[in-house]
Structure 1
Amino acid sequence: MPETFVDLGSVNAPSGVLVLGMAGWIDHWRVLGQPLSVCARAAASSGGGHLREWLCEAVAVPAADDRPLRVRASTSPSPFDEEPAIATLEISLGLRWPETVGRSVRVRLGDLPVDRCGMVIGDASGLDAWTGMNNEPADGLADVTYWGRYADEARAEFGGERIAQYGVDGPRGWLDLPLAEAAARAAELTAWRDRLHGKGLMVSIDKHTDFYRFRRAGWHHPLRVGAIEVGGGQVLGIEWDQGDHSMRHRGERDAGRVYPVTVEADEGGEMVMRWTIPPYDFNDEDE
């Protein structure tokens, strides 16, 4: 049976090089050695390839620099809750498949693990500007959220609106606060909890880094996909359900849980990059 794909959005690659990489490590490339864009350009110059430096991994390919590049996905049931989870990620590259190569050929570029922190698709040069989870936000803002046994008591004391997310009620809290105000609000909640209960209330302060912004952008998407602007271009981020990750992808590369990335021709003769994650076999007792 042919796969059914759903549109996830689009990205652009003004540098002519597109990257699919592990979101938790994008900002580490420049710390470990060369910027991501330098490594990606080298790989793309030979038609594309796999990049790896310590725990940082990505695949880079040449792509059209003058148009949006469509991103689609097929799904299969998650072993965690049987909800749809990404099975094949397909990214249009905006380039014609070479006439000298048969359309049935699949060029394998390497493989990637599913990063527990999510995956990012975007322009290689633009991603050099990516701010990771430990960086400071460019807009100087943060979100404060809280949840747990004493959340209703905390709301009566401090307020805070319900922050809806797809499929769940979500925590309560405040969005888009200046950093100093966010830190003070989180400190008040924590001090109140410690004084009255000692535990039973979780409090989180999330700075508006690119890492956090892509996760927030996907709050209302059934596959946790969100689009943000980074380095002047549109980037798509995909956050994985933690239950699904734990059952299918936990251990990542160290456990051999990596999945092939290929370049192939689509039905119209254009190049696409595909990342294929085999469906979970519910009948396999070894899984």
Structure 2
Amino acid sequence: MIDYRKKFDLHMHTTASDGDYPPATLVKKAAELGLQIIAITDHDTLDGITEAQRIGCEAGVEVIAGVELSSKYEGKTIDILGYQLAKIDDLNQTLSRMRRSRENRAQVIVEEFNAIGMSITMDDVLEFSQGGVIARPHIAKAIVKKGYISDYQTVFDEYLADGKPCAIDKTIITPVEAIALIHDAGGKAVLAHPVYLQDDEFVERLLRFPFDGIEVWHRSHKPEDVIRYKGIAQKYKLMMTGGSDFHNDAHNLGSFGYTAEGNK
């Protein structure tokens, strides 16, 4: 999937889910940075892929059809990246059901904020989702705009993280189910940003499921993390991927700890 000699970024989000830039704009930004291979990996949707691939053809950037699915295992959220998706009709139907569930979840979260005195509406949230998948970042932005909390990260840390007052679980699928959805669509399943799991023994237990790869490089992975995950990838004979997990300009597109010279 990856020509490691080329400049790539295989983890990025657009306004089709919770990113700040439309697919076309994001591809153009990638081209301006000299990226040659990118993957659009929006949460639970493929809606940005067609536009991104069209602009990619014009800009000379290869755009891989991707997605990021969330699953649960042993009480932890396991994010799984799907790449090179081909047979997408059935996957789209499943993702559509998941999106409807997410919209219902968003309404419940809005009601929870109202119950603790932070009055917002779904219209306030829709201003930020711009017709894409409604996600927690859109709700956080609405809370900040209303002036209840001064910054976006605090909304997450104090109200939306697991176990916090306004946290509501989304539709739950298992890692095996998520991997099967990706494989059924002809794709490759990759464990995303393993450092967030904070437990390498747990990561290795997960990799006994039929994963095809692991995200070795990520903007949150320190050099020592990269070394560990490269070792784990080699141990389980897994593909190694990397990406910035780009959502907005606070994340450096194309910058996630990989250089061709330093990873031979």
TM over 0.5: no
Structure of greater relative contact order (alpha carbons < 8 Å, 6+ residues apart): 1
Q: TM-score range by the shorter chain?
A: under 0.3
Q: Which has the higher strand share?
A: 1
Q: Which has the higher helix share?
A: 2
Instruction: Report the TM-score, using the length of structure 2 for normalisation.
Output: 0.26
- Give the structure with higher Rg (CA): 1
Instruction: Report the TM-score, using the length of structure 1 for normalisation.
Output: 0.25
